[in-house]
Amino acid sequence: MLYSKEVMDHFENPRNIGKMADADGIGEVGNAKCGDIMKMYIKVENDIIVDVKFNTFGCGSAIATSSMATEMIKGKPISEALELSNKAVVEALGGLPPAKLHCSVLAEEAVKAAIKDYYDKNGIAYDAEQFCDGNCAACHAHDHEHAHGHAEEE
Ligand code: FES
């Protein structure tokens, strides 16, 4: 079977799906590869992500990875959420077909964008390098599935 049981479960019963009216940070990112969009909302208290929601125009794999990503960051300190890589999310889901790895990047980037928005709104200083600026070339220097996901397709 192409998709793991976990992927199917998170696709069919996505956790934390929806919008959040009183979010402390909102991240919206687009996938250059397919044009899909992901929006992530976080609620922060004392540096802890106490609630998170997402909604997406993405495919099933984007839904499943975002659902898993929200579960993995909920209740966690921001510092831990920032370290969540799409690779860890994919592993937690029992893998994704190589052609769908790029979908998982959307989840990672949306989490980071929401945290960046929270930092910006609250005047919290941060190292700009930990956030995606839409410049994929810069990411090729980093150790995550970005370069991979793109390069392995087609
Ligand atoms: Fe666009 Fe999966 S095909 S996010």
Domain assignment present for 45:
yes
Q: Which of 55 and 137 is assigned the larger pLDDT?
A: 55
Pairwise CA distance, residues 103 & 99, whole Å:
9
* pLDDT score of 140: 52
Domain assignment present for 56:
yes
Domain assignment present for 153:
no
Show the domain range for 117: 5-141
Domain assignment present for 121:
yes
Domain assignment present for 133:
yes
Mean pLDDT, the chain, integer: 87
- The verdict on whether 139 is a catalytic residue reads no
State pTM to two decimals: 0.84
In this predicted model, what pLDDT tens digit does every residue of 21-63 receive, in sequence order?
A: 999 999 999 988 888 999 999 999 999 999 999 999 889 999 9
Domain assignment present for 60:
yes
What separation in Å is there between the alpha carbon of 38 and the centre of ligand 1?
A: 10
In the block, tokens 């690779």 appear at: 87
Mean pLDDT along residues 72-90: 95
Residue 126, domain CATH: 3.90.1010.10
- The verdict on whether 132 is a catalytic residue reads no
Q: What are phi and psi of 3, to 5 degrees?
A: -115, 140
In the block, tokens 């300190």 appear at: 77
Split into its structural domains, the chain has a count of 1
Domain assignment present for 129:
yes
Helix H or strand E segment including 79: helix 78-83
Pairwise CA distance, residues 91 & 84, whole Å:
11
DSSP state letters, 14-26: -TTBS--TT-SEE
List strand residue ranges (DSSP E) for 1-154, in order. 25-30, 37-45, 48-56
Residue of 2, 3, 36 to test ligand 1 pocket, by largest number of atoms within 8 Å of CB = 36
Domain assignment present for 151:
no
